[in-house]
Chains A and B, each alone.
Chain A
Amino acid sequence: MTIKFDPVTLELLWTRLVSIVDEAAAALLRTSFSVIVRESHDFACVLTDARGHSLVQATDGVPSFLCTVPRTIGHFLAEFPPETLREGDILITNDIWLGTGHLPDITVAKPIFLNGKLLAFAGSVAHAPDIGGRIRTAESREVYEEGLQIPIMKVVREGTIDDTFVRFLRKNTRVPDQVMGDLYAQFTALDLMERRLRALLGEHGLEDLVALADEIHGRSEAATRKAIRAVPDGIYHADVVTDGLEQPIRLKLALHKQGDSIMADYAGTDPQVPRGINVCLAYTLAYTAFAVKAALCPEVPNNEGAFRPITVSAPVGCILNSTPPFAGANRALTGHFIPPMILQALADAIPDKVIAGVGSPLWSLNFAGVRADGSPIANQFFMNGGYGAGAAHDGANVLSWPSNVSAAPVEMIEQGAPFRIRHRRLRVDTGGTGEHRGGTGQEWAFESRNPTPVAITFMAERTRQEAAAPGLAGGGAGTPGAVLIDGTVVDPKRQHILNPGSTVELRTPGGGGYGDPAQRDAALAAQDIEDGLVTETKL
């Protein structure tokens, strides 16, 4: 069947598809139970065609998920071919290598049928508040330490949920009500997408999505290729060093831009490590595509077509293409370096479109202990560093990128956790110098008020000088971060014990500056001094 859509009909249908996933995302958010979904928006809703090729993603989704959900649906199809799927089935997995790269992310998908024919998949992924195993840490060596692994299976068969699965899941998590609540919220979103999609096709007299998918993919692909074509051909390199563990870890990129396609080659990247900071290939691809799109064509809609021109090659067993059973709970500590690395590589070709290094990845303080009354207590508090400067703007002081996860209010933290926060303020002199200054990081001081010691772990990166967020076009690097306990710098990749009355300080990295510092506007420089963000010596 070949249907030619005119620009009006296509726009109407496309807008409706977007509003279907947006409506599903709103329903998921409102019916979820965990703070990580509700406050940090760590989830996504995607609609794919019958092949598992994504059509539309909810406007407010985590960027890595758009890429991983369709791939996970592809794995579902490999295990459950169309003839084995029934109306009312829902498939599930949290497999690291078939999913998003760490176990808390649970991917589910529902096949949608019309007149007995497989039409599409409604897909969703959400970060569960707990999946068992150790508290989120980089110290796990193997995936088996990180919690419950859910193989690809039908969690719902023709409308009936698998009770044995539910019992296993509940038994393996610290917060079963929240985990089940969030899973039902995901089901609610899938049901809604199914109902709305069928209604839409009915209204327009369409029997399947084949022609519409071709249009959506074709136009998005063409727009992406056009944007890529505007970049001069060549191989663009970037090398990045992360704090790593005892030794720094080196990531290596050769970005091959040829005609209207881009291939990111990560050959030369260090091998995977026996700690939970390894990245699976789907996550590497997701953040590669995210960065290329942000730099070249942020306005092009997100779907399979927009990704076709972008491919990735990473040696099997390197830290950006991990293999079982290497752990990945804190994969973001490595994976969040991919977008800045892509921008760094593209800087020579399109200096005006990229930004200097960002004080990412996402940082956090995790703790677990026992309250005065003997009850267990555990939580995780996020925080971010300074943003990178661009050709026309300073970097924002403290901004989440690329993950877009917020910090909790100090007053909320003190209400629920045995800490007094001594300060949470901008870190003076931490933004990289430049015509446009890098954003400053921030510093938090948590004083323990728990009557007994608590265990603490961190997500923290860019604490070594060589891992600082680099400047661009002559701009200076941002200041590295640091973690201190009672004034002494500690290894943030290890678990520590915080005694009653002790204070842990987290100082997040600054962003890189852009352009020659000598060219900085005198009025802006004076304002930084007046505002106390920069001291005279650092001008």
Chain B
Amino acid sequence: MSALAIDIGGTFTDIVLYDDATGRFAAHKELTTPSDPARGVVAGIAHLFAAENTDAAQVDRVVHATTLFTNALIERRGAVTGLLTTQGFRDTLEIGHERKYELYDLHLPLPQPLVRRALRQEALERLAPDGTVEIPLDAASVLAAADALVAQGVESLAICFLHAYANPAHEREAARLIAQRHPGLILSLSCDVSPQIREFDRSSTTVANAYVKPLAEKYLNRLSGDLAGIGIAAPLFMMLSNGGLTHVDEAKRVPVQLLESGPAAGALSAAFFGARSGKRDLLAFDLGGTTAKLALVHGGEPLVVHKFEAGRERRFTAGSGLPLNISTIELIEIGAGGGSIAAHDALGLLKVGPRSASSVPGPACYGRGGTEPTVTDGNLLLGYLDAETFAGGTMKLSTEAAETAVGGLAAQAGLDVPRTAAGIHAVVNETMAAAARVHVAEQGHDPRDFALLVTGGGGPLHGCELARRLGISQVICPPGAGVASALGLLLAPARVDRVATVTRRLDGLDWAALDAEYAELEAQARAVIGATLGAGAALSIRRAADLRFVGQGYELITELPAGPYGPGTEAGIREAFQAGYERVFSRRPAVAAIEIINIRVSVTGSTAEGTLDPEVPVAAEGQAATGARQARFGDSPFSAPVLDRRRLAAGSEVIGPAIIEEAMSTLLIPPGARAMVEAGGNIVIHLPETR
């Protein structure tokens, strides 16, 4: 039997077919069809089936990731959405955090709420922080609000009452009343979508869910139908932002969990290939045309965080988007890629990005009308790229156009062209290194303890230099770095995360009650996994809690032991929190009470068929060395041998400088570095120690 992975991106839809029996996988890139994404998927599958001489009957599993919902948020193409709040708080969504994300810009564009004020209504009701009812829900006010919103064309409604995390009764009752009166209205409740304290973030998350929910229902119904139409009877699983899978109905219920499904697959894939080289602590680095992405893999698992920002006003500026409480693979996006434009700023310094030539017109060397010098132009002039075989030979690069573009910049700086090209390369690497350093420090780690795993068209080209700047001594380049990401979809376990706010102190806690609350979350999560995988799945259940010292404003997520809990549990939890606190913050207050804000469970389940063990083809016949190129490293020119990766046998060693080419990417081995081709398919590069 086979598994099918479908990853819809902005430009391409990647489809991977994996044969469970042989471990072989085949990949195909189909242009994305934005007006009707299912059409591209079906066309791509048909193409792959024909090429691989197989059919729908052989498929027993389909896993899907998509950027459609993220893009709907960015482009504001969601449903007409309304919001119902507690009386006195209809403006919470608009007032937000009251903070600017950039201090000196007087004319800063701020993210506008997804629901304008006219579509925000209030209901008469009030809960206390512990969930006690202070003002009972007034049915007439709920129905009047709903009627008014429906009259204004609202298709999807978010309900977010104060303290609903402590007691969902009012939200549920309001939903019941509204569903009776307006059965066609699609509802999202904050107690379901994000039952966590802090009303703005909870509202923002619930509203974003409501905004994409009609779209998700329509699209997923359509895709399920189309797959059935071509004879695929296997269930469709959806990739979540946290790197887990779920079934289609859960995806339709809370689609906001799917926003980052594509990058999550990439991080899973990095963890998988890193493990093949025995590395469990990795910095996964993907460099594409306009952005670079960095994700941390710690102890063999991608780091999962519980905050996300969607639809940023300024793509690379934190704080410029809508905050969402979703669990997602932790990653940063940096405005640096192959198309990033190099220019002198007002101070006469060489800057690279975040402005990008993108794919249209593209770098100057593409010869498609681009005239500004880009990172790719620099790489071509440095001898790193082959003008004839770039992107698998689909495109010829113009060295002349690159020289003209970079030459203009060189003249302004009073440098020669090679020195300027080297400067572009160095500056873009330093830009990425600077972002990586701060990011890794924020996670409480030291980058030198990690290996760098490189994917994407540009990752293998810039990886060694980025690693050197970070003090990282080992770089791993997986086989087929270009499709490595879609393969990650097939590696995912089914996963459900659940959270609830409890807010109480550890001393004097009713442990049996807390254990019951965990058990309730676990039961919810198990039900979803059961519906995804069937009854026989092996489950792994993890508990965690957001803890802090009493009086603090932010919490540290701490892993907790499994239940059941009793009075003896406290010491262990206290110890685990304090140890974690010391690891991250290096010291802790001498005497302080601890409180628990949120409890979290994460349930993962896998079946025997879920294990993936891709085969790497035996090295092709023939000489690996195909020639040599003049390439410049730093200030020195070298003659670097060019090698064909398909012909490098396991166990081969390559001493830098060298250039290793494969279909969609080029791996650069700098002078002094030593690369090993491993039996598992990875190339592992050891850099000279810089520690």
Contact = CB atoms under 8 A, between A and B. Distances in A.
A437 to B, nearest CB: 13
B89 A8 contact: no
B415 A400 contact: no
A52 interface: no
B116 interface: yes
B347 interface: yes
B50 interface: no
A412 B413 contact: no
Contact of B89 (A38, A223, A298, A425): A425
Contact of A406 (B98, B413, B589): B98
B423 to A, nearest CB: 3
A8 B415 contact: yes
B434 to A, nearest CB: 4
Contacts of A12: 426-427, 430
A294 B106 contact: yes
A411 B554 contact: no
Given A399-B100, A424-B88, A31 B413 contact: no
Contacts of A175: 551
Interface string A405-432: 1111111101100001111111000000
Interface stretch (B248-256, B302-310, B366-374, B436-444): B436-444
Contacts of A300: 346-347
A10 interface: yes
A26 B503 CA distance: 27
A223 B346 CA distance: 7
B229 interface: no
B687 to A, nearest CB: 15
A383 interface: yes
Contacts of B444: 30
A33 B549 contact: yes
A53 B431 CA distance: 25
B88 to A, nearest CB: 3
B430 A15 contact: yes
A174 B592 CA distance: 14
Contact of B198 (A181, A396, A412): A412
Interface string B381-423: 0000000000000000000000000000000011100011011
B398 to A, nearest CB: 24
A412 B197 contact: yes
Given A11-B350, A425-B89, A295 B106 contact: yes
Nearest to A408: B553
B129 A415 contact: yes
Contacts of B95: 397-398, 407, 424, 426, 442
A161 interface: no
Interface stretch (A239-247, A365-373, A528-536): A528-536
A493 B64 CA distance: 60
B554 A38 contact: yes
Contact of B442 (A11, A26, A392, A399): A26
Contacts of B430: 11-12, 15-16
- Give the one of A11, A26, A175, A423 with max B CB within 10 A: A11
Interface string A1-37: 0000011101110111011001100110011010100
A422 B553 contact: no
A512 interface: no
A186 to B, nearest CB: 13
Interface string B577-592: 0000000111101111
Interface string A469-498: 000000000000000000000000000000
Contacts of A426: 91, 94-95, 117
Interface in A275-322: 290, 293-295, 297-301
A96 B344 CA distance: 41
A404 B118 contact: no
B92 interface: yes
B106 A400 contact: no
Determine the interface band of chain B, counting residues with CB < 8 A from chain A. Answer: 35 or more
Nearest to A426: B91
Contacts of A301: 347
Contacts of A27: 441
B586 A8 contact: no
A101 to B, nearest CB: 19
Contacts of B77: none
Given A410-B162, A426-B95, A219 B347 contact: yes
- Give the one of B345, B414, B591 with max A CB within 10 A: B345
B351 A409 contact: no
A438 interface: no
A293 B106 CA distance: 10
A434 B117 CA distance: 20
Nearest to B550: A416
Contact of A409 (B200, B349, B427): B200
Contacts of A343: 106
B107 interface: yes
B540 interface: no
Interface in B328-364: 344-351
Interface in B67-96: 87-92, 94-95
B116 to A, nearest CB: 6
A400 B427 CA distance: 35
B589 A181 contact: yes
- Give the one of B91, B431, B587 with max A CB within 10 A: B91
B377 interface: no
B199 interface: yes
Contacts of A348: none
Nearest to A35: B553
A410 B106 contact: no
Interface string B452-472: 000000000000000000000
Contacts of A23: 437-438, 441
A354 B91 contact: no
Contacts of B552: 33, 35, 38
B158 to A, nearest CB: 17
A319 B552 CA distance: 35
Contact of A19 (B89, B91, B129, B437): B437
Contacts of A355: 106-107
Contact of B434 (A18, A177, A531): A18
A482 to B, nearest CB: 18
Contact of A414 (B92, B129, B419): B129
B350 A398 contact: no
B199 A39 contact: no
A384 interface: yes
Given A177-B590, A532-B118, A31 B585 contact: yes
Contacts of A531: 116-118
Contacts of B431: 15
A343 B106 CA distance: 10
Contact of B349 (A33, A177, A219, A527): A219
A39 B587 contact: no
A513 B17 CA distance: 60
Contact of A298 (B104, B128, B197): B104
B349 A425 contact: no
Contact of A411 (B199, B347, B586): B199
A326 interface: no
A63 B413 contact: no
B584 A30 contact: yes
14 contacts: A7-B349, A7-B423, A8-B427, A16-B430, A19-B434, A22-B438, A33-B552, A181-B589, A220-B347, A411-B165, A420-B128, A425-B88, A527-B116, A530-B118
Instruction: Please provide the 3 A-B residue pairs with the shortest distance between their CB atoms, ordered closest to farther.
Output: A423-B88, A8-B423, A298-B104
Given A177-B590, A409-B201, 11 more contacts: A6-B415, A8-B419, A33-B549, A178-B551, A393-B107, A410-B89, A411-B162, A423-B88, A425-B89, A527-B116, A533-B117
Interface of A: 6-8, 10-12, 14-16, 18-19, 22-23, 26-27, 30-31, 33, 35, 38-39, 63, 175, 177-178, 181, 184, 188, 219-220, 222-223, 226, 290, 293-295, 297-301, 343, 353-355, 383-384, 390, 392-393, 396-402, 404-412, 414-415, 420-426, 442, 445, 527, 530-533
